[in-house]
Amino acid sequence: MKRALITGTTGQDGAYLSEFLLEKGYEVHGIKRRSSSFNTDRIDHLYEEPHVKDRRFILHYGDLTDATNLIRVVQEVQPDEVYNLGAQSHVAVSFESPEYTANSDAMGTLRLLEAIRILGLEDKTRFYQASTSELYGKVQQIPQTEDTPFYPRSPYAVAKLYAYWITVNYREAYGLYACNGILFNHESPVRGETFVTRKITRALARIFLGLQDCLYLGNLSSKRDWGHARDYVRMQWMMLQQEAPEDFVIATGEQHTVRDFVSRAARRLEIELEWHGEGRAEHAVVSAAPKQAAVRAGDRIVEVDPRYFRPTEVDTLLGDPGKAKTKLGWEPTTSFEELVNEMVDEDLSLAKRDHLIKSAGFKAFDYHE
Ligand code: NDP
Ligand code: GDR
């Protein structure tokens, strides 16, 4: 039985990858951070309590900022494959916590690679690094391939640049089987609530039910290549099954603006939007809505709020997944429309639950950022 160790197992990709590897028959070990409240929502359906005999999903407390902890966990698990998905992954937050972001995302990757080396596991353990299209930043070539130059535009991307190169360096210096997956944005119903797609689908579902009045966003003209996390974790595994380690771009090859994502998500709820104004004054007004919606034609439900603009922005990202397709036979299976619809449908179910709680006189969770 193959054994995998995943950092960031409680995150979006960690949850999908854990599920995927368990289905493949792996024994899966995940690192989770100590938190004052439960942080395992996304993996609760996989949880096996410590008394289950021969359990295949095992969690270890740990943190990428703690080298001794990583060495101990790697020693205990003796993994065949390590997936380094753990990170402070929010670009906007990285401007507020740049040092912590560098510590977890850049130094954390080094610590994990060193743990493998210190324990003499270079010939046994294969290593996957969660690299990112944010590396391209101020893009110099469209679409972006494995050979496009990097120009990071945030503390997050700069930290990930270090992680990218230290992974390449350990491959070249010590013969470690180590790969970078340069993944473009990928989303799902369990995407973190403050990334733009989930913020949109969650807010629109709540607006539909009258739980919220308005959705405030930053740069509506940003273009992203959005895929489904389920498709992308499959590729993370595929990368570690080749004869020789290589880096791959994972993307759909299709690009949409944030504005377009909003309009598509609204349409799933049968709400039609009209866009007015420009830049910081841009907003969307309902032009048609179904009877059961809590909004009416003329309601202004999307506004730009400058607080969500970033000091330096990545305006446009579009990946070329040609190498992944030719060499590994990988292709995304979920279209943009299917992705938007799945996310809206799931958020509508969650909003209905909150609506029910509220209408029964209890306080429903109401946080949005
Ligand atoms: P999430 O933000 O959903 O998950 C991040 C995970 O990392 C969480 O489990 C989080 O724990 C954990 N984590 C954060 N800080 C630390 C730390 N110091 N030590 C250990 N664990 C930590 O990210 P995604 O699942 O979306 O992304 C997975 C990886 O892929 C990340 O590295 C991200 O940067 C990268 N990436 C993501 C893309 C995307 O579009 N989703 C695209 C390209 C790259 P907790 O749950 O406790 O917060
Ligand atoms: P990104 O994702 O920065 O691409 O990083 P995010 O969804 O945060 O932003 C995408 C684009 O939308 C614009 N935007 C807003 N973003 C947020 N979060 N909130 C808003 O209100 C808002 N309004 C407009 C942003 O400015 C941006 O242009 C994600 C993360 O998962 C990274 O970890 C990963 O490496 C990259 O994708 C690939």
User: In order of start, what are the domains of the chain with their CATH numbers?
Assistant: 3-183 (3.40.50.720), 196-223+257-314+335-360 (3.90.25.10)
Residue 213's φ and ψ, nearest 5 degrees, are -100, -35
* Rounded (10°) CA dihedral 348, 352, 355, 360: -170
CA of 193 to the centre of ligand 2 (A): 11
Closest residue by Cα to atom 4, ligand 1, is 11
Least confident of 32-36, 48-52, 276-280, 299-303: 48-52
Residue 210 Rama label (left phi>0; alpha psi -120 to 50; beta): left
Interval between CA 85 and ligand 1 midpoint (Å): 6
220 has a pLDDT exceeding 70: yes
Which are the catalytic amino acids? 132, 134, 156
Centre of ligand 1 from the C-alpha of residue 296, in Å:
38
pLDDT at residue 314 in the model: 98
Could you tell me which of 232, 249, 218, 216 has the C-alpha nearest to residue 315?
218
Q: Is the ipTM of this complex over 0.85?
A: yes
Q: What pLDDT does 117 receive?
A: 98
pLDDT at 368: 65
Q: Residue 357 and residue 105: Cα distance in Å, rounded?
A: 39
The share of the chain scoring above pLDDT 70, in percent, equals 99
pLDDT at 271: 98
Q: What is the mean pLDDT of the segment spanning 273-288?
A: 97
